[in-house]
Structure formats: C-alpha cells, structure tokens
Homo-oligomer: A and B are copies of this chain.
Amino acid sequence: MNTVLARFNILAGKEAEAQEAIKKQAASVESAEPGALAYIFHRNRKNPTEITVFEIYKDDEASAAHRDAEHMGTFRSYFGSLFDPDTVKIDRLERIAGFSR
C-alpha cells in the first residue's frame, strides 16, 4: 500500500476554477483507477487556498497507473495557471497502525 500526502496552494483569484479542476480530477481517479483506494482533496480551514490531497494506492502498479493517467496529465497542466507550482510538497508515507471504517 502506497500512501501519498500532496500539498499545494491555489493561485490568487483562481479559487472557483481550481475547485472545478479538483472535482473533475477526483471523479476521474475514482472512475478510471481501480487501484486508487483513497483520493481526497481538502482545503485547510485556516488558509482555504492551501490544498492537501490524501492518496492511497493498492500497490506500485496502481501508483504508476495514477502517474501515467491522461487525467493526471491534464491536472498537472494546471500548475502555473490554477495552482502555484512553487508550493508543491509531496510526502510518501508508510502506514504504521490505524484503521478507517
């Protein structure tokens, strides 16, 4: 299981378009990537332009499928126009303990 925490900021004035792009991306991952077990976009309650994505992939193959997906290319293309590429932070995580239900 591969867990990823991705963070980046929405560019000023691009909130509405960014929200549309985010919703479309979430729907594409859900329908086209069976190996994506979780893919959840959040805004920070204190700073709503700060986006956090919590992602779980079944295995390395599912991670690779995500990276190479056409919708991922589209979403990536918004960095610069909707999202600030200088704010991107990607953390690869390993589960120690816990549950979801």
Interface positions of A (Cβ within 8 A of B)? 3, 5, 19, 22-23, 25-27, 29-30, 37-46, 48, 51-54, 56, 91-101
Contacts and interface: CB of A to CB of B under 8 A. Distances in A.
A99 B52 contact: no
Contacts of A96: 19, 22-23, 41-43, 51
B100 A41 contact: no
Contact of A42 (B39, B45, B94): B94
A101 B101 CA distance: 10
Contacts of A43: 93-94, 96
A85 to B, nearest CB: 20
A41 B98 contact: yes
